[in-house]
Amino acid sequence: MKIAFLDKLTLGNDINLDKFNKFGDVVTYDYTTPAQTLNRVQDIDIVITNKVVIDQDIMDNSNIKLICIAATGMNNVDLDYAKSKGIVVKNVAGYSTPSVVQLTFSYVLHFMQKLSYYDNYVKSKKWQDSPIFTNLDVPFDELQNKKWGIIGLGDIGKNVANIAKSFGCEVSYYSTSGMNKNTNYKQTDLDTLLKESDIISIHCPLNDTTSNMINKTNLNMIKDKTILLNLGRGGIINEKDLADIIDQKELYCGIDVVTKEPIEKTNPLNFIQNKDRIVITPHIAWASKQSRERLLEGIIANIEEFVL
């Protein structure tokens, strides 16, 4: 069989793909533009894509038999049309949960502990000139007894909740679908969660319900000194409204996803004046080395299930 990786670079250069050779001839592309896609998949049996779009035109003009999505989200493939063509589409779920949870707490501890300030204090050589053994110029708080609100209590949200609870946080959640009735944590409406929480972390998908869910109408409800995190999808938070409010009130934000990725030069988040109040990472929450290895094992399992 012929197998093509269309955007190998999204999996990292430290990942070995040799295990795929047992299935047939493997060709890899670091990335693939829309204009290049058809030419690269025309004679391919199995396509592996993270973000490269496989639409009706591609399927009509190729011999694709299996599409393996190197992710959980499947919005880059026309699933209904693939089904009508008899093309199997498989994703990998659950592989990234520990990695996303880890970045969530990395953000929180970074802001809570004021790590940037104290790291810079030492590196600027101010500590060595101090008459005392410590420095407490910027007070920092403990997580214990903080109110942590979670938007989206799926597998990732539940793991965040469990660890937050172990830190002594009071956890509540808002179900964006309205279907989650988890009784281990307090369920609340969105406005109440935003008004009462000291930490707010977003772990829900982007859909018609959640698009632009956090915007100027409810960002003003959030208390000063609150930590707001988006580890769901870009587009859930209105980026222009967020940029405006960070320069108006003391709000701290960890953002791993933006509406258009890679981030555009004109994105309002690039122009925030109070840069100490925001940390932006390039969509890395899913991508620990172990997470990416689990992802590849999931893809291999999907191919084995298809060929056997």
- Residue 91, token pair as written in the block: 């994703």
Helix (H, G, I), strand (E, B) or coil at 125: coil
Say if strands 46-49 and 25-28 run parallel, antiparallel, or are unpaired: unpaired
Cα–Cα dist 124/211, whole Å:
43
CA-based max dimension of the chain: 75
Would residue 294 show up in a list of annotated catalytic residues for this protein? no
- Length of the chain in residues, anyone? 308
| DSSP run (H or E) holding 46 | strand 46-49
With a CB cutoff of 8 Å and minimum separation 6, the contacts of 196 are 147, 149, 172, 188
Would residue 283 show up in a list of annotated catalytic residues for this protein? yes
| Residue 100 Cα distances to 10, 72, 161, 202, angstroms | 16, 13, 13, 11
| DSSP run (H or E) holding 195 | helix 190-196
With a CB cutoff of 8 Å and minimum separation 6, the contacts of 12 are 287, 289, 292
Would residue 261 show up in a list of annotated catalytic residues for this protein? yes
- Among candidate residues 40, 283, 292, 294, the one labeled active-site is 283
With a CB cutoff of 8 Å and minimum separation 6, the contacts of 297 are none
- Among candidate residues 261, 264, 297, 305, the one labeled active-site is 261
Put the strands of the sheet holding 278-280 in their side by side order.
186-187, 170-174, 147-151, 199-202, 227-230, 252-255, 278-280
Q: What are phi and psi of 227, to 5 degrees?
A: -105, 125
- Among candidate residues 40, 203, 233, 292, the one labeled active-site is 233
Cα–Cα dist 36/169, whole Å:
50
Q: Which class for 98: exposed (0-12), middle (13-18), buried (19 or more C-beta within 10 A)? A: middle
- Residue 16, token pair as written in the block: 């070995």
Catalytic sites, residue numbers: 233, 261, 283
